[in-house]
């Protein structure tokens, strides 16, 4: 059955199936093509008649994931001009007052889209929550620091999408005063950025941060060094005008080349110290301190300004970094000999591994590296943010996802919680294995629904004095006070600042 709704730009036609109406690929801004690729988002171009919104729209310029990662999560990107679009799922297009979730996808700021099956918001709509999934500018399109172009265009896109939600979500039955923004990985980092950004104030009521940090940001001058190397690779002037004249195919090839160069030789003198440190050798184009949206490191902004505090659900996966090492076979190069040489590159005293090894009898060097890196990159910042928000007496809830995948070596890795949160285990067997526990998906999904609805996911609030943390595992592990607190304390003591 088709359903028609009026939004900014005109009327759209969605499709209703089993009580959920889906509107896919709806533009929230004009197509950023040519030189406009590097402008701030512009108002959506109006259309006449009724526009079909029954298939996914395109995503931003990007290459496919490396083969080991694509084998786990899929993703064959649809590319095109109108990639500033949203998908909306609702149980009641003619209703009112429903809670709203706005999803920001991950992908290291250079990959991803709102079209992945594990991001299907129909499951949330089934349970009474209007859900919006956002596409935004990625890579050089969204974050290259080009002379003559505004910085952090990808964050500006996210803010434009949130404004679209404020203006249009009532047409889908949603309550613009009850919006929760949530995201994972670079999407979770984006949520931290949005909490920190003055321009996003008032656009959402609550936030959920999954597997992210508040430290992935570069100084603008350092980011400009990356843009200069990009221009050299393309043999053009380093200006927005010149980049706007390059074909998408050449832009994509140059973007991939820069990422490889930075990963192979992360020289701070060539790339800028904050690009190397903030990107951790994984990200090449990501947000910068622009003096406007971000006046400092997001972690510092969020943990020093009481006016940034809001109801928060935040957490991490126990074995995050295994996702980046084991599928690609990088674990083979991490040995008892190389591990002490690797940790200083992450700003850590190698002695920190002793605490982790004492808690993990029989763990390999690769196991220990993944455990340390998981806490360093994800858990440390998440706990600092939770400590501060809780101290402002805002409802704060912390979780750890601990279920170990049936896929060899992954355990509770990065990305693993997403199909449980969305209750889309059917779309994730390559990641989870063939028999993931539905009871765990029931628990996590219901907790996210409760938090979006009334701000309480169903377990005790987190405070710095107890650090109550909900452990999502099968069987249910319940709430634990300060899990592996000695490891986190050792990690913080080992950081070389």
Looking at residue 495, the DSSP 8-state letter turns out to be B
Looking at residue 65, the DSSP 8-state letter turns out to be P
Structure tokens at 451: 């938090």
The residues, any chain, with a CB within 8 Å of residue 229's CB and separated by 6 or more, are 258, 261, 270, 271
Looking at residue 136, the DSSP 8-state letter turns out to be -
Residue 320 appears among annotated catalytic residues: yes
Give CA separation, 243 vs 140, 173, 270, in Å: 10, 41, 21
Rounded CA separation 157/141 (Å): 11
| Distance in angstroms between the alpha carbons of the first and the last residue of the chain | 59
The residues, any chain, with a CB within 8 Å of residue 285's CB and separated by 6 or more, are 109, 110, 138, 139, 140, 142, 143, 144, 226, 255, 258
* Rg, Å, the chain Cα set: 22
Spot the catalytic one: 184, 320, 400, 417: 320
Rounded CA separation 109/361 (Å): 36
The residues, any chain, with a CB within 8 Å of residue 75's CB and separated by 6 or more, are 64, 65, 111, 112, 113, 116
Spot the catalytic one: 414, 417, 445, 487: 414
Spot the catalytic one: 21, 113, 141, 185: 185
Structure tokens at 2: 């088709």
Residue 400 appears among annotated catalytic residues: no
Residue 185 appears among annotated catalytic residues: yes
Report yes or no: 166 and 203 within 8 Å, Cβ to Cβ.
Answer: yes
- Residues designated as active site: 185, 320, 414
């Amino acid at each position: 059955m088709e359903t028609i709704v009026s939004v900014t730009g005109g009327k759209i036609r969605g499709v209703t199936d089993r009580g959920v109406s889906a509107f896919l690929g709806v533009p929230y801004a004009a197509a950023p093509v040519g030189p406009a690729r590097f402008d701030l988002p512009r108002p959506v171009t109006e259309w006449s008649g009724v526009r079909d919104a029954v298939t996914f729209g395109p995503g931003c310029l990007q290459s496919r994931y490396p083969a080991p990662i694509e084998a786990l999560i899929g993703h064959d990107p649809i590319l095109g001009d109108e990639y500033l679009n949203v998908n909306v799922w609702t149980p009641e297009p003619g209703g009112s007052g429903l809670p709203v979730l706005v999803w920001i996808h991950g992908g290291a700021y250079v990959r991803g889209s709102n079209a992945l099956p594990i991001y299907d918001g129909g499951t949330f709509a089934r349970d009474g929550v209007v859900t919006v999934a956002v596409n935004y500018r990625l890579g050089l399109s969204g974050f290259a620091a080009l002379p003559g172009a505004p910085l952090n265009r990808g964050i500006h896109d996210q803010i434009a999408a949130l404004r679209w939600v404020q203006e249009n979500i009532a047409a889908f039955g949603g309550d613009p005063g009850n919006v929760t923004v949530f995201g994972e990985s670079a999407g979770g980092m984006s949520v931290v950025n949005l909490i920190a950004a003055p321009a996003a104030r008032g656009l959402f009521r609550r936030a959920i941060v999954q597997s992210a940090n508040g430290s992935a940001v570069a100084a603008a001058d350092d980011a400009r060094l990356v843009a200069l190397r990009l221009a050299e690779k393309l043999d053009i002037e380093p200006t927005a005008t010149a980049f706007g004249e390059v074909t998408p195919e050449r832009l994509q090839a140059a973007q991939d080349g820069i990422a490889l160069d930075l990963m192979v030789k992360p020289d701070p003198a060539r790339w800028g110290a904050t690009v190397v440190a903030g990107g951790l050798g994984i990200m090449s184009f990501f947000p910068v301190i622009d003096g406007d949206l971000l006046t400092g490191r997001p972690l510092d902004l969020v943990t020093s300004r009481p006016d940034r505090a809001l109801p928060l659900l935040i957490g991490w996966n126990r074995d995050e970094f295994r996702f980046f090492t084991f599928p690609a076979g990088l674990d083979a190069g991490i040995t008892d000999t190389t591990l002490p040489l690797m940790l200083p590159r992450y700003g850590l005293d190698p002695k920190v591994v002793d605490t982790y090894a004492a808690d993990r009898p029989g763990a390999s060097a690769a196991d220990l590296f993944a455990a340390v890196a998981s806490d360093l990159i994800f858990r440390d910042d998440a706990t600092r943010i939770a400590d501060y928000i809780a101290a402002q007496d805002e409802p704060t809830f912390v979780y750890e996802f601990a279920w170990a995948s049936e896929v060899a070596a992954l355990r509770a890795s990065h990305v693993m919680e997403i199909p449980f949160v969305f209750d889309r285990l059917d779309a994730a067997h390559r990641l989870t294995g063939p028999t993931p526990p539905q009871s765990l998906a029931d628990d996590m999904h219901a907790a996210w629904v409760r938090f979006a609805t009334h701000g309480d996911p169903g377990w005790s609030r987190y405070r710095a004095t107890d650090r109550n943390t909900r452990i999502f595992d099968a069987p249910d592990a319940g709430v634990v006070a300060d899990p592996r607190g000695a490891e986190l304390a050792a990690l913080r003591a080992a950081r070389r600042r």
